[in-house]
């Protein structure tokens, strides 16, 4: 591919100091292209362009329904280029092509959903007293920053950018240095719209350079970040110094809780899909399996047999699992597996898969670990790979206690035919989303998504996410 460029104020640009970063294909380990190594000067130009545009009369004249039509136009562009984008997303991240297509379809829906919402966010009138009219309006918050992770680049960009623009904000996107391909395409589509050129800006670079500068920039009015707890904490601290609100989605250690009265075939398939999607490199991955003790042997036999049928291989060959993103991520996963081998039992998987001519790529067998101590590092921390840890419980109370035993609270799956039992657990588990007899791993675009505890705060997706990108103004009018 040709070297990529940043998109700032309607222009395609290299970095100020001309530095570049290689972008590698996880399936082969080979370099596909390069991106500019954006730094402080580049981020500053993008933010100032977004601020100038936000304040401009040209942007104020764009009516809400017109913003909506433009977002529909971007959705149409994504749909028209669906095949190309799916291949780019799969090559960039390493996810199977089927999952690449699913991500493109989700991006289409985000732009459609928020395009339709652009002229439908209403204010309120408040009864105070006779002779006083009081009302509340929601105004755009200003320049919004969107720091996008490497595992779902087009989905996570689309869900926050579309909502922000729908509400009348201008945006600066910082894509992950590992996976910038589809973000660059989205910039191309915005370039073809009638929006003022500073509405959408895309900068590239390392997180500790471009990302850190964006997080701490004094002209940013809201930050949306998805990533690790450590980086999210740094982002939040930087934003706090400027008194700027933040939406954080920071990961999870999400459980699937399986009772003996479940539909076993559906539960097995749900548990498998929850951990192998994107090779387990998913914040909402179902990485813990809690099984009713009396049902363990029956369920695990079926589960392990299903794991052994899964295929691993290059993304565009559309196996069940693609590669791990890079050597750094692979080494981290293998450290957890090595720890688990000392503390517990690896029932299946846990070994590297090699492909001729692709020796620099990192493939891993999907892995099931049993008998891991509940307080083990591998049981408590996010592994971010296709590694499932198994635990057992005797009754509902123990299941609730185990589900709540980590610092995270993003997603929970409950598998039972007893609706009373399901509602009891749902009401007492600390989790931003609860799926009963399914596992949506974030679910549809309409469903609010975010976590309890160290999984972050605020919500993305759905109608509620629009409010992230507004500020409330109260107006009181006295009359005689």
- Three-state DSSP at 285 gives coil
Token digits of residue 350: 């846990």
249 noted as active-site residue:
yes
Picking from 39, 26, 7, 22, the residue whose alpha carbon sits closest to that of residue 100 is 26
Distance, in Å, from the CA atom of 35 to the CA atom of 181, rounded to the nearest integer, reads: 9
Q: Are 71 and 115 in contact (CB under 8 A)?
A: yes
Strand ranges (E), 293-425: 345-348, 352-353, 363-364, 367-370, 387-393, 408-409, 411-415
Picking from 441, 447, 452, the residue whose alpha carbon sits closest to that of residue 464 is 447
β-strand partners of 219: none
- Three-state DSSP at 156 gives helix
Picking from 347, 338, 332, the residue whose alpha carbon sits closest to that of residue 291 is 347
Side-chain half-sphere of 256: how many Cα atoms within 13 Å?
Answer: 29
Q: Are 256 and 274 in contact (CB under 8 A)?
A: yes
Distance, in Å, from the CA atom of 193 to the CA atom of 197, rounded to the nearest integer, reads: 9
Is the four-CA dihedral 156, 159, 162, 163 of positive or negative sign?
negative
Query: What are the distances in angstroms from CA 472 to CA 104, 122, 144, 319, 468?
Result: 33, 11, 16, 48, 11
Angle of the 153-166 helix axis to the 64-80 helix axis, nearest 10: 160
Query: What are the distances in angstroms from CA 156 to CA 11, 65, 418?
Result: 23, 23, 35
Token digits of residue 213: 């500068």
Residue with tokens 């109260």: 474
3-state helix, strand, coil in the chain (%, to 5): 40, 25, 35
Distance, in Å, from the CA atom of 34 to the CA atom of 20, rounded to the nearest integer, reads: 6
Q: Which of 89, 112, 177, 249 is catalytic?
A: 249
The residues assigned a catalytic role are 249
């Amino acid at each position: 591919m040709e070297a990529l460029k940043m998109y700032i104020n309607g222009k395609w640009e290299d970095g100020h100091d001309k530095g570049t970063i290689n972008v590698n294909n996880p399936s082969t380990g080979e370099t596909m292209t390069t991106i500019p190594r954006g730094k402080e000067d580049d981020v500053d130009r993008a933010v100032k362009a977004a601020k100038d545009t936000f304040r401009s009369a040209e942007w104020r004249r764009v009516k809400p329904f017109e913003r909506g039509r433009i977002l529909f136009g971007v959705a149409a562009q994504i749909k028209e280029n669906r095949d190309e984008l799916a291949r780019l997303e799969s090559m960039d991240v390493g996810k199977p092509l089927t999952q690449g297509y699913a991500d493109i379809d989700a991006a289409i829906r985000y732009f459609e959903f928020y395009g339709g919402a652009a002229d439908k966010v209403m204010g309120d009138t408040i009864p105070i007293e006779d002779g006083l009219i009081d009302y509340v309006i929601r105004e755009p918050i200003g320049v919004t920053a969107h720091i996008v992770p490497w595992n779902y680049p087009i989905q996570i960009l689309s869900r926050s950018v579309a909502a922000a623009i729908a509400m009348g904000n201008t945006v600066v996107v910082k894509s992950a240095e590992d996976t910038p391909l589809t973000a660059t395409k989205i910039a191309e589509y915005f370039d073809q719209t009638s929006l003022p050129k500073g509405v959408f800006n895309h900068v590239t670079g390392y997180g500790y350079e471009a990302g850190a500068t964006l997080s701490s920039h004094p002209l940013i009015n809201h930050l949306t970040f998805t990533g690790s707890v450590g980086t999210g904490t740094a982002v939040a601290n930087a934003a706090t110094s400027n008194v700027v609100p933040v939406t954080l989605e920071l990961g999870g250690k999400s459980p699937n809780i399986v009772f003996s009265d479940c539909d076993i075939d559906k539960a097995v398939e749900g548990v498998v899909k929850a951990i192998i999607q994107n090779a387990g490199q998913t914040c909402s991955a179902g990485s813990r399996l809690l099984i009713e003790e009396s049902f363990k042997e029956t369920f695990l036999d079926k589960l392990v047999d299903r794991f052994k049928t899964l295929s691993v291989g290059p993304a565009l060959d559309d196996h069940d699992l693609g590669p791990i993103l890079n050597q750094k991520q692979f080494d981290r996963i293998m450290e957890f597996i090595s720890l688990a081998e000392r503390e517990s039992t690896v029932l299946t998987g846990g070994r590297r898969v090699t492909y001729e001519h692709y020796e620099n790529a990192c493939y891993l067998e999907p892995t099931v670990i049993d008998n891991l101590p509940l307080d083990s590092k591998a049981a408590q921390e996010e592994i971010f790979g296709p590694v499932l840890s198994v635990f057992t419980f005797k009754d509902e109370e123990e299941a609730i206690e185990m589900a709540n035993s980590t610092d995270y609270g993003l997603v929970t799956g409950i598998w039972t035919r007893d609706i009373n039992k399901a509602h009891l657990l749902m009401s007492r588990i600390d989790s931003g989303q609860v799926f009963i007899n399914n596992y949506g791993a974030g679910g549809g675009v309409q469903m609010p998504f975010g976590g309890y505890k160290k999984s972050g705060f605020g919500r993305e997706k759905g109608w509620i996410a629009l409010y992230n990108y507004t500020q409330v103004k109260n107006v009181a009018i006295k009359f005689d």
